[in-house]
Amino acid sequence: MPTRRDILKTAAGAGILLSAEADTRAGAKKNVIVAGGGIGGLCCAYELSRKGHEVTVLEASGRVGGHVRTVRDDLPDGLYVDAGAEQFTRPGYELYWQYVKEFKLPYVQDHRREHMLRVIGDHVYSEEQLADPGILSGFGFNQREIDFLRRHAWWELSALYLDKFADYFSDEYRPFDAGLNELDSITITDLLRREGASNAAVHFAGGSGSALHNVWHASILKRRGVPLWPTQIFRLKGGNSLLPETFARRLGDRVKLGCPVTAIEHGPGGVTVHYREFGQARAMPADYLVCCMSAVMLRQLPVTPALSERKRWAVANVPYYSATRPVFQSRSKFWREQNVSINIEFRQPALEHVWSMADDVNSGQGLVVGTAGPGVTADAALKAFRSRYPGKGDSIEQAMVIDWSKDPWCMACETTTYRPGELRRFWPAIMEPEGRIHFAGAYCDNLNWGQEAATRSGHRVARAIDAA
């Protein structure tokens, strides 16, 4: 008698999908394809596999992790750099911490947000200076803002005006129950001005995104006990890619690298995923598909029958930014020798901010990494650094960049806030399943960024499929 797997294979070979009569029972073993081997997809696959389901992960590139990527090649003395996901916090990453403890992964506290220096105009300011009433007054802050910034970190300024809205949200996954829907029609800049913010506060804390989206996110952070500017941050010792690499080892040969998905067919009884492997076109049937690739990649795939109009619009319009990671390797930790903080915010497209990396490695050599706009060259980033570094000089001997905009599979980094009037079009459509197709990844969670959002979404989908 043919098994269910035999039937699935026959159906895929004939280019058809199973009917509803072959539907799986709640709690029964399911066959699931996870498209995308980033941290969200690997988390989802891991949770499904340990619940007894049959899982295959199709990853387009030759490595796992997606934007959680640690670069170790071309760096001496055991140095390494997290080219993508930089950190996790406490509190705020509760699910992520569970995996760190479960897998006994080593971690270190990262001090990159301590003793911050910020370039504003033609001057470099320390944290102490940016709490000085005279300096703050010179920027144009009003007295209320000055009093606030004397007691709080610089990047918590928006909390002065947004905290009053946080308690309106009783469920962090239901932003429209807060009774603040009119805030989706204005920008965060509009809201700050309406609340009496100074032009200086608007300049530093404003933006063009939906005010409701910003207030909702601020509320989520407050509910989870996470500051707008967390200083208690951590990273995995040896690189943050240790977690996706550990997921992949646990999954073993369930993970198939170099297998980009090319098309999706779905129906009431199952899915068929078309992909390439070793240059050959292949098709794989399953009970469920979990799309864990970025929306940029998903929107390029033909889906038959087409997804609903609301889902297509949401996937097609997810706002992403891309970035470059400049890396400066030096003969010495020159900033320590000069007693100058290396945690510097430059606020320039060629170099937004920098910090030291791999301080846990026993090496006299230094590593300074940062963030810059897409397409920025190593020479341009280094020039920007040297033009603003407040010390007497440096011992940088190698500069390179990891430019995500040139990655064929991961060119889109994190999402940005939605434009006014669009939150209802995105939410909750962006995270909802369509028949046998589920969606996971950071963009499918309510906070929309970070490794916690990716793992949360993967965990949520795994529970839903297991319960189906």
**pLDDT: which is higher, 4 or 107:** 107
**Mean pLDDT of the 193-207 span:** 97
Residue 12, pLDDT > 80, answer: no
pLDDT for 3 equals 38
- pLDDT bracket for residue 438 (50, 70, 90): very high
Helix (H, G, I), strand (E, B) or coil at 460: helix
Confidence at 278, pLDDT banded by 50, 70, 90:
very high
CB 85 within 8 A of CB 233: no
Residue 466 and residue 468: Cα distance in Å, rounded?
Answer: 6
- Cα–Cα distance measured from residue 167 to residue 296, given in angstroms and rounded to the nearest whole number: 34
Q: Within 13 A of 298's CA, how many CA atoms are on the CB side?
A: 28
User: What predicted TM-score, i.e. pTM, was given to this entire model?
Assistant: 0.92
Q: Tens digit of pLDDT for each residue in 201-258?
A: 999 999 999 999 999 999 999 999 888 888 899 999 999 999 999 999 999 999 999 9
pLDDT of 407 above 50: yes
Beta bridge partners of 398: 329
pLDDT given at position 27: 67
Between CA 421 and CA 221 the distance in angstroms is: 22
Give the whole-number percent of the chain exceeding pLDDT 90: 89
Q: What is the set of domains in the chain, with CATH numbers?
A: 4-65+241-318+427-467 (3.50.50.60), 70-113+232-238+322-406 (3.90.660.10), 127-223 (no CATH)
Given a cut of 60, whether residue 13 has pLDDT beyond it is no
Token duo for residue 211: 């005010």
Question: Given its phi and psi angles, is residue 441 left (phi above 0), alpha (psi -120 to 50 degrees) or beta?
Answer: left
pLDDT band at 448 (very low <50, low <70, confident <90, very high): confident
Q: Give me the residues paired with residue 126 across strands.
A: 117
Residue burial 156-183, b: 16+ Cβ < 10 Å; e: rest: bbbbbbbeebbeebeebeebeebebeeb
Would the pLDDT of 17 be above 90? Answer: no
User: 445: which DSSP letter?
Assistant: S
Model pLDDT for residues 358-370, shown as the tens digit of each residue: 999 999 999 999 9
Percent of the chain scoring above 70 in pLDDT = 94
Task: List Cα–Cα distances, 241 to 64, 80, 249, in angstroms.
Answer: 9, 11, 12
Q: Are strands 233-236 and 107-110 parallel, antiparallel or unpaired?
A: antiparallel
The DSSP call for residue 163 is H
| Residue-wise pLDDT tens digits, 346-390 | 999 999 999 999 999 999 999 999 999 999 999 999 999 999 999
Q: Is the pLDDT of residue 139 over 90?
A: yes
| pLDDT tops 50 at residue 15 | no
Indicate whether 11 pLDDT > 50. no
Q: What is the pLDDT of residue 192?
A: 98
User: Residue type at 160?
Assistant: L
Transcribe 95-150 into DSSP letters.
Answer: HHHHHHHHTT--EEEE-TTSS-EEEETTEEEETTGGG-HHHHHHHT--HHHHHHHH
Over the chain, what is the mean pLDDT? 93
Three-state secondary structure call for residue 54 = strand
